[in-house]
Amino acid sequence: MRFLSIALFITLFSTQFCQAQYEFKATNELKCTKIKSQDKTGTCWSFATTSFFESELLRMGKGEHDLSEMFSVREVYKDKAQNYILRQGKANFSQGSLSHDLLRVMKEKGVMPESVFAGKATADEKHNHSEMEAVLAGMLDGVLKQKKLSNNWRIALDKVMDVYMGECPEAFTIDGKKTNAKDYANSLGLDADDYVNLSSFSHHPFYETFVLEIPDNYSNGRFYNIPIEELQAITSYALENGYTVAWDGDVSEKGFSAKEGIAVLPVDEKRADLFKKPGAEQKVSQASRQEAFESFSTTDDHLMHAVGMAKDQKGNKYFVIKNSWGEISPYKGYLYMSEAYFKLKSVAILVHKDAIPADIASKLQL
């Protein structure tokens, strides 16, 4: 099995990068699958959420699985295209989406193994959807110029994706048994209704659901709204009790560096040792995160996968985050996110409903 140990990355860091002064000690580390790369695509939402479900399968005792990110991506492209056409071009058509879109695909269409559909025209190429997105968007805009539409544009959409992503099979064989995406998902025991999306913004009532107003929420997905202290408490509780967390947030801050493997919210962003040792961080309130969201300082940039917790040498707490940009950073693709960074820059999370503390679940009527 290729379970990746957070402690291993800490050991690698301390032995190979001893000149740096951050010293991390894992307090909780959960099983997850190997680091992947989304390459030149805006599909972090699928990589993060697929990784989340691979960890869920490990937690459930179902063994290690390598699920296809691009199966969900392809299905969402199709859904976005229909949404774009029906809204007569007054909608978002891009590479980005959110965790709940993968949940919907899993519920309605199923999942596939990576070995069945890798989403590449050839096995040795890297993912790159720039040209494909341009072709699809141009085609859809051309379709909208027609006075009356046929269904042929749907066939054409599939054919374009076949060229760039390879053909997606209707059925496939696993362990000698013929199956399809929906039946395969059922065989894994994954139930989309077991998972909850949560956010924290004060322009909507707390303990109710709301439509999160970000461009990638093209499907108008609803999120439970809770105070930021409770959003952080859920994340900590989940990780302490064996559940990983899919994280959606902003990575544009000067204190975020995937290369260095650090995400902090320093009081002094210009200090020379920003990524070398712990320093004072900003105090975050519900009001300050709301101001950051409404001023576009916090935007929906990136989705990643929280797989553990750690402390630095001063006792400061961090979430251990699995990224999808390949094995970069001293931690080979992982990074350490401080609590302050989480509180200000988190947009939303996805967790299993059983990973929510009972008192908060009661407020949400879950």
Q: Region 192-216: what's the mean pLDDT? A: 97
Q: Region 167-181: what's the mean pLDDT? A: 94
Confirm whether 91 is domain-assigned. Answer: yes
Question: What whole-number distance in Å separates Cα of residue 209 and Cα of residue 98?
Answer: 16
Regarding whether 341 and 307 lie in a shared domain, the answer is: yes
DSSP E strands, 237-355: 245-249, 256-257, 262-263, 302-311, 317-322, 334-338, 346-352
Question: What is the band of 123 on the pLDDT scale with cuts at 50, 70, 90?
Answer: confident
Regarding whether 202 and 181 lie in a shared domain, the answer is: no
Regarding whether 289 and 165 lie in a shared domain, the answer is: no
Question: What is the band of 213 on the pLDDT scale with cuts at 50, 70, 90?
Answer: very high
Confirm whether 35 is domain-assigned. Answer: no
For 325, phi then psi, to 5°, come to -110, 25
Regarding whether 247 and 163 lie in a shared domain, the answer is: no
Regarding whether 244 and 182 lie in a shared domain, the answer is: no
Question: What whole-number distance in Å separates Cα of residue 149 and Cα of residue 139?
Answer: 13
Confirm whether 324 is domain-assigned. Answer: yes
Regarding whether 114 and 65 lie in a shared domain, the answer is: yes
Question: What whole-number distance in Å separates Cα of residue 318 and Cα of residue 30?
Answer: 14
Confirm whether 86 is domain-assigned. Answer: yes
Regarding whether 239 and 135 lie in a shared domain, the answer is: no
Regarding whether 50 and 2 lie in a shared domain, the answer is: no
Question: What is the band of 19 on the pLDDT scale with cuts at 50, 70, 90?
Answer: very low
pLDDT at 5: 53
pLDDT at 17: 41
The total of other beta-carbon atoms located within 10 Å of residue 301's CB is 17
Confirm whether 112 is domain-assigned. Answer: yes
Mean pLDDT rounded to a whole number for the chain: 93
Q: What range defines the domain where residue 331 resides?
A: 1-30+192-366
Q: What is the pLDDT of residues 86-108, one digit of tens each?
A: 999 999 999 999 999 999 999 99
Confirm whether 96 is domain-assigned. Answer: yes
Regarding whether 230 and 138 lie in a shared domain, the answer is: no
Residue where a domain stops, chosen among 162, 190, 218: 190
Confirm whether 36 is domain-assigned. Answer: no
* pLDDT over 70 at 240, yes or no: yes
Regarding whether 203 and 274 lie in a shared domain, the answer is: yes
CATH value at residue 63: 3.90.70.10
pLDDT at 1: 42
pLDDT at 18: 42
Question: What whole-number distance in Å separates Cα of residue 260 and Cα of residue 328?
Answer: 8
Regarding whether 301 and 163 lie in a shared domain, the answer is: no
pLDDT at 255: 96
pLDDT at 100: 97
Confirm whether 104 is domain-assigned. Answer: yes
Residue where a domain stops, chosen among 135, 160, 190: 190
* pLDDT over 60 at 4, yes or no: no
Residue where a domain stops, chosen among 170, 190, 210: 190
Regarding whether 348 and 228 lie in a shared domain, the answer is: yes
